[in-house]
Amino acid sequence: MGLLTPLTSRFRHPAQVVVAAFGLTVAVGTALLALPIATTEGVSAGWLAALFTATSAVCVTGLAIVDTESHWSVFGELVIAGLVQAGGLGIMTMATVFTLLVSGRLGLRARIAVQAETKTLSMSDVRHVLRKVVVFSLVCEAVAATVLTARFVTGYDEPFGRALYLGVFHAISAFNDAGFALWPDSLMRFVSDGWICLTVAIASIVSGLGFPVVFELARSWRRPGKWTILTKITVWVTAVLLLLGTLAFLTIEWRNPKTLGPLDEGGKVLAAFFAAVMPRSAGFNTLDVSQMLPSSWLTTDLLMFIGGGSAGTAGGIKVTTVGLLAFVVWAELRGESRVNIGHRSLPNSAQRQAVTITALGVAIVGIATYALLALTPYSLDQVLFEVVAAFGTAGLSTGITASLGTAGHLLLVVLMFIGRIGPLTLGSALALNRRARHYELPEERVIVG
């Protein structure tokens, strides 16, 4: 919180603090990656490559216009890892604070006092919660790094120092849903390695659920009836998307000789599950995305657009938003005046927020797709995939990222930035900017549809 003190004193709304903090971090990262020491050749990477990579790292996206391992030196890779860590922790801590601001409590042992008039928090309680977020993140990364390091040593005969470096780098990248890998083919060489694939996938899933959900599950996983609406929707929608995504990739790519075709049945299930997890925002791939069938691209588009849970490192419009919209539609189809989830009623404000975030997300993706189609010679399938990957901070690509040109790269930079902070800041702004109206206007029925 010490870093945020000057920002909070200058900007009065939390959304302004987020934009300023992430913008400043991107600027610092760009400056560091533009140094000659950051590249293997000892010459400056140029402002565009530095800006694009720094934005991708801070926004934990994983899209790249240069190969991470061959282009960047150890210094450059450490800068990228640091930016990913800063971006991931920043997202989780800021999202947690906004969750507290909106709800007034976290459902954990720490209690946050919300002053309705000034929208301020008890700083001692905030520090306690944020400390738990940081410790939780670092412990998860340490566990993932240990497993990956051990596997690189025992399974691939890597020297311990190199294995440790690879393990730590990819643990940070996986837990923060960044998708940066130190191999030109991402994780394709490990397509049948359950130790590596499942470790990366589990780290991504846990961080993508979000801090409030993870700790509520840890406390009351045996009593799902007492879960909050946030936890219920996040868990069940995530499970459904992972299951449907896995089945979709298995069905579509089963006989594709360039993806799942050459693998045995166990390998196909593992690869399909990994392909279903990664669009949540993780960005790694064990299958050649460019060789997938168009229907698999569309499936990935949908998963990337939805993303993961609120208050986590995943991008997209969030599974919570999609879950709320599903209940809204169901209630409308049944002719019910109120939207009920379990034994709770959903406020009208939450319904409007879900509709607003989804509508703006669709609009942003649509406009950006149209613009990128005009700027590049690529097909609609490829361009849409690239746009959704940037907006959903997923980092997956059909292989056209590096050849989009300066205008295309700058468009993706803007999309990554909007996609990272947009849903978070917009959601908090809508929730916190409530105005009391002391009158009601007469209703007028409008034909819809």
Domain locations along the chain? 5-430
> Which residues in the chain come in under a pLDDT of 70?
1-17, 91-129, 423-439, 449
The whole-number pLDDT of residue 96 equals 56
Q: How far apart are CA 240 and CA 342, in angstroms?
A: 18
pLDDT in tens, 61-74: 999 999 999 999 99
**pLDDT, tens digit, 9 for 90 and up, residues 337-383:** 788 887 788 888 788 888 888 998 999 999 999 999 999 999 999 99
Predicted pLDDT of residue 12: 52
Angstrom distances, CA of residue 220 to CA of 161, 206, 224, 227:
40, 16, 7, 7
pTM here is: 0.86
Distance CA(352)–CA(358), nearest Å, equals: 10
**Most distant pair of Cα atoms in the chain: their distance:** 74
CA 385/CA 398 separation, integer angstroms = 7
Q: Which tokens belong to 78?
A: 């450490």
Would you give the distance in Å from CA 176 to the centre of its chain?
Answer: 8
Backbone CA torsion sign across 99, 104, 107, 113: positive
pLDDT at 67: 93
3-state DSSP assignment of residue 34: coil
pLDDT 10s digits, 296-316: 999 999 999 999 887 777 888
* Encoded tokens for 88: 């991931």
Query: Tell me, what's the pLDDT at 257?
Result: 96
Q: Quick check: 49 and 406 in contact, CB under 8 A?
A: no
- What pLDDT is recorded for position 433? 55
For residues 275 and 250, the answer to whether their CB atoms sit within 8 Å is: no
The predicted pLDDT at position 298 comes to 96
Beta bridge partners of 344: 341
pLDDT for res 436: 59
Q: What is the pLDDT of residue 122?
A: 46
pLDDT score recorded for residue 89: 79
Q: How far is CA 103 from CA 116, 119, 149, 309, in A?
A: 11, 12, 40, 16
